[in-house]
Amino acid sequence: MNEQTPIAERAEKLQGLGCARKRVEDARFTQGKGNYVDDIKLNGMLFGDFVRSPYGHARIKGIDKEAALAVPGVLAVITAEDLIPLNLHYMPTLAGDVQAVLAHEKVLFQSQEVAFVVATDRYAAADGVELVEVDYEELPVVVDAAKAMAADAPLLREDIKDKDEGAHGPRKHHNHIFYWDAGDLEGTQRALSQAEVVAEESIAYQRVHPCPLETCGCVASMDKVNGKLTVWGTFQAPHAVRTVASLISNIPEHNIRIVSPDIGGGFGNKVGVYPGYICAIVASIVTGQPVKWIEDRIENLSSTAFARDYHMTGKIAATKEGKITGLQCHVLADHGAFDACADPTKFPAGFFHICTGSYDIPVAYVGVDGVYTNKAPGGVAYRCSFRVTEASYFIERMIDVLARKLEMDPAELRMKNFIAREQFPYTSALGWEYDSGNYHTAMAKAMETVGYQALRTEQAANREAFVRGETRSLMGIGVAFFTEIVGAGPVKNCDILGLGMFDSCEIRVHPTGSAIARLGTISQGQGHATTFAQILASEIGLPADRITVEEGDTDTAPYGLGTYGSRSTPVAGAATAMAGRKIRAKAQMIAAYLLEVHDDDLEWEVDRFQVKGNPERFKAMSEIAFAAYNQAIPGIEPGLEAVSYYDPPNMTYPFGAYICVVDVDVDTGVTDIRRFYALDDCGTRINPMVIEGQVHGGLTEALAIAMGQEIRYDEIGNVQGASLMDFFLPTAVETPTWETDHTVTPSPHHPIGAKGVGESPNVGGVPAFSNAVVDAFAHLGLTHTQMPHDHWRVWSVAQDLGLHG
């Protein structure tokens, strides 16, 4: 590379921002050469497996280990009694509650961990599990959040029965966890009572599960010689795990090393700390041998963190012309047996109060009651920022409900109420400061691209043909416009267990012009090794192919809060850019010395510093790197390294317009997604191909949730559908073609203007599908119907509307 090479060509060679660079991870994944936790094999490694509760609620009257201990290869059966002396029978949750590591005195949900069998191989462990005899006395079960707070509801949490004060304020009932609210109650009530039109709806977002392809697991290894504990595991936040492990085990933090190897999808499921991790660690400490614990699919779906289970009641006020004047929402949040939600500490309902969505709503109020039930704990952000998909589902359904009431087109109603471009930065009625947006433009582009008016005309014709008996299929058009809130978050109000939610990047530039960057985040499929190298390539002028990105090992990576809630690009991506800028600042001083000019006489251009007005005189970054290590430069330390800890000044607010067209077979309830158009605005686009991949994946998960996923419990607490026979994981056959599009509205406060995209398609997708299904029946009076829109529920709608004759 020399001065003759045109600028554009040099920039292209870097494969920096905006380049559809192929994912560097794929070489190993497509060859089956990934290294997941279950690939880890250590000498003398033992295996742990759980005895789990068959009941939703029962008292444990006794545990007989004898037969299990007699199985050849079984070394130990650990129960709560064994953990009590270590004070490890309960562990702190991320939400300020405690969770039983192994059930103590009673079990509170089916599949709860009761005993941990340790054996020389996983087969012996499984045989041991069969033979542990637990004597249970069944207790009455509560699986319905609405019934949990009845005066005579059975007491679930005996361990905290005398606590009137929870982590988030007073508890009003023995199964109550918290009440949390935001907004102006009085003002909202006034707006509702004075409104020309009020639309109301009860909207439940069913319990689902992130269901990553790889289940959760770990290998814990206590080295008794040097006192060091190493844990490899499926951790979306390895540093947080290290800190928590240190706090609860009293092992000094420098003696704990947490490693997240390749992770086969997380989607929020791998944020929390599970009993399996604790038991594997304890077993390794006790035996002095490494211990592996890997869940199977049924265990994953029935015991590790679920998502949603939000029961929302809303009222929306408007003028007759369709100008929204107020919004009220109450949520009954089913948290299961322990409050193990993964939210920033101050936000027990996450960022649910983004529920005013993309609309300029003058006044709003939301209140959330969290309750205990006999269901698995969790409440994680399944491919969304904290409770944002619930919020988006709520407002996007409410807008449609209001549109029906006003007899107005739902797209038009949205257009009428969008926050206008000039209103940004915009402070919402519930207190968020939206950084940037251009909603009208995005919506207009979406409507024009799909030919919205023509679709409505076609729909009118379809409805007439249906009446004439010429078709048994109804066409639905679903519109959703979402605003996300991602990139948690500013340390001033975002922490998890007291740990500020900044993130970090450390860069070492090597003498020959290549580099390694280490971050506090951890990819689970997002392609960080690809995209963070691109951010850096543009910042420091070294080709992305010469930059290694490494994450996940707490002994080497700088402290960070991990990857979830679309926070990696907004926070760690920003740290990467900022660290790169530190490198560049030092490089400028070195270049000035080498070129014998003043710093200020230099300008940066793609991959070099050149003398202003004299571009033939330059030093490329690779030359500067060499000099940094090999020349004694007065006043400048050798080396070229930087670290940045980035505390974001604000969240970022990606948005998008989605339109879905569905054909519903009223006789079978089968829905055919004929078309799905997704316009995403995630600010500056780092790698369009990776963005497209994220959008495809997110839309497919949105399809899964809207059309089929559900973790249901029967009335006696049996979990239903906790295997892939029933739990809907779409294959290529069930997945429609996705049309993607974009606009670009950079974030004004992010160093490169990027906002994050991984979760947008889930947040916007679910309401788009739901709105489409409801829209198919809207002319017959339907305003809302419960997700998932599986065959029988859709068929029931048709049945209830009398369409089956």
Partner 1 sequence: MIPASFDYHRPESLAAAVQLLGSLGEEARAVAGGHSLIPMMKLRMAVPEHLVDLRSIAELKGICIEGRAVSIGAMTTQAEVIASDALAQVCPILRETALQIADPQIRNLGTLGGNVANGDPGNDMPASMQVLDAQFEVAGPEGKRKIAARDFYEAAFFTALGEGEIMTAIHFEAPSASHGYAYEKQKRKIGDYATAAAAVILVMEGGRCSQASIGLTNLSDTPLYAQAASEALVGSSLDPAAIDAAVAAAEAIADPVTDSRGPSHFRRKLAGVMLRRAIASAQNRAA
CB-nearer residue toward partner 1: 686 or 794: 794
Q: Is 384 a catalytic residue?
A: yes
The footprint of partner 1 on this chain (CB under 8 A) covers a number of residues equal to 29
One residue of 122, 508, 581, 674 binding partner 1 per CB under 8 A: 122
One residue of 138, 647, 726, 741 binding partner 1 per CB under 8 A: 726
**What SS3 class is residue 604?**
strand
For residues 538-597, which are near partner 1 according to CB under 8 A?
Answer: none
The yes or no reply on residue 29 touching partner 1 (CB under 8 A) is: no
Q: Is 171 a catalytic residue?
A: no
3-state SS of 609-659? EEECCEEEEEEEHHHHHHHHHHCCCCCCCCCCEEEEEECCCCCECCEEEEE
The yes or no reply on residue 791 touching partner 1 (CB under 8 A) is: yes
One residue of 130, 158, 555, 672 binding partner 1 per CB under 8 A: 130
Contacting range for partner 1; rule: CB under 8 A; set: 236-244, 495-503, 661-669, 749-757: 661-669
CB-nearer residue toward partner 1: 403 or 797: 797
The yes or no reply on residue 792 touching partner 1 (CB under 8 A) is: yes
Residue 559: closest CA among 650, 639, 644: 644
Give DSSP secondary structure letters for 438-493.
-HHHHHHHHHHHHTHHHHHHHHHHHHHHHHTTS-SEEEEEEEEEEE--BS---TTT
| Cα(235)–Cα(239) distance, integer angstroms | 9
Contacting range for partner 1; rule: CB under 8 A; set: 101-109, 263-271, 313-321, 720-728: 720-728
Contact string 76-115 vs partner 1 (x = CB under 8 A): ----------------------------------------
Does residue 431 have a cis peptide bond before it, meaning omega lies within 30 degrees of 0? Answer: no
Residue 560: closest CA among 683, 643, 680, 467: 643
The yes or no reply on residue 728 touching partner 1 (CB under 8 A) is: yes
CB of 693 to partner 1, least distance (A): 22
The yes or no reply on residue 190 touching partner 1 (CB under 8 A) is: no
CB-nearer residue toward partner 1: 255 or 735: 735
**Annotated catalytic residue within 23, 242, 308, 383:** 383
**What SS3 class is residue 702?**
helix
CB of 722 to partner 1, least distance (A): 10
- Kindly state the tokens that stand for 657: 């317009």
Beta strands 719-720 and 712-713: pairing type?
antiparallel
- 392: burial class by Cβ within 10 Å (0-12, 13-18, 19+)? buried
DSSP annotation of 71: S
Contacting range for partner 1; rule: CB under 8 A; set: 30-38, 241-249, 388-396, 790-798: 790-798
CB of 573 to partner 1, least distance (A): 36
**Annotated catalytic residue within 112, 236, 534, 588:** 236
Q: Are 119 and 74 in contact (CB under 8 A)?
A: yes
| Cα(299)–Cα(376) distance, integer angstroms | 11
The yes or no reply on residue 720 touching partner 1 (CB under 8 A) is: yes
The yes or no reply on residue 416 touching partner 1 (CB under 8 A) is: no
One residue of 708, 751, 764, 767 binding partner 1 per CB under 8 A: 708
Q: Is 236 a catalytic residue?
A: yes
Contact string 290-309 vs partner 1 (x = CB under 8 A): ------xxx-----------
- Kindly state the tokens that stand for 121: 């191989």
The yes or no reply on residue 646 touching partner 1 (CB under 8 A) is: no
CB of 667 to partner 1, least distance (A): 5
| Cα(30)–Cα(673) distance, integer angstroms | 29
Contacting range for partner 1; rule: CB under 8 A; set: 161-169, 589-597, 683-691, 784-792: 784-792
The yes or no reply on residue 668 touching partner 1 (CB under 8 A) is: yes
One residue of 223, 412, 734, 741 binding partner 1 per CB under 8 A: 734
CB-nearer residue toward partner 1: 454 or 732: 732
The yes or no reply on residue 786 touching partner 1 (CB under 8 A) is: no
200 bridge partner residues: 315
Residue 437: closest CA among 426, 446, 445: 426
CB of 603 to partner 1, least distance (A): 58
| Cα(497)–Cα(31) distance, integer angstroms | 39
DSSP annotation of 544: G
Q: Is 216 a catalytic residue?
A: no
Beta strands 712-713 and 641-646: pairing type?
unpaired
CB-nearer residue toward partner 1: 258 or 703: 703
Residue reference for tokens 């990696």: 568
| Cα(265)–Cα(234) distance, integer angstroms | 9
One residue of 733, 737, 781, 802 binding partner 1 per CB under 8 A: 733
The yes or no reply on residue 712 touching partner 1 (CB under 8 A) is: yes
Contacting range for partner 1; rule: CB under 8 A; set: 165-173, 406-414, 723-731, 768-776: 723-731
Q: Are 493 and 363 in contact (CB under 8 A)?
A: no
| Cα(168)–Cα(328) distance, integer angstroms | 21
- Kindly state the tokens that stand for 559: 């402290």
Beta strands 306-318 and 378-380: pairing type?
parallel
Q: Are 110 and 302 in contact (CB under 8 A)?
A: yes
CB-nearer residue toward partner 1: 218 or 549: 218
Contacting range for partner 1; rule: CB under 8 A; set: 125-133, 430-438, 463-471, 628-636: 125-133
**Annotated catalytic residue within 19, 211, 384, 505:** 384
CB-nearer residue toward partner 1: 709 or 747: 709
- 118: burial class by Cβ within 10 Å (0-12, 13-18, 19+)? buried
Cβ count within 10 A of residue 733: 5
Give DSSP secondary structure letters for 250-265.
---GGGEEEE--B-S-
The yes or no reply on residue 167 touching partner 1 (CB under 8 A) is: no
CB of 51 to partner 1, least distance (A): 13
CB of 46 to partner 1, least distance (A): 15
CB-nearer residue toward partner 1: 189 or 786: 786
- Kindly state the tokens that stand for 598: 């003043």
Q: Are 219 and 289 in contact (CB under 8 A)?
A: no
Q: ∠92-98-101 over CA atoms, to 5°?
A: 85
> Which residues are near partner 1 by CB under 8 A?
122-123, 126-127, 130, 296-298, 667-670, 708, 712, 720-721, 725-726, 728, 730-731, 733-734, 790-792, 795-796, 804
Active site residues: 236, 383-384, 759
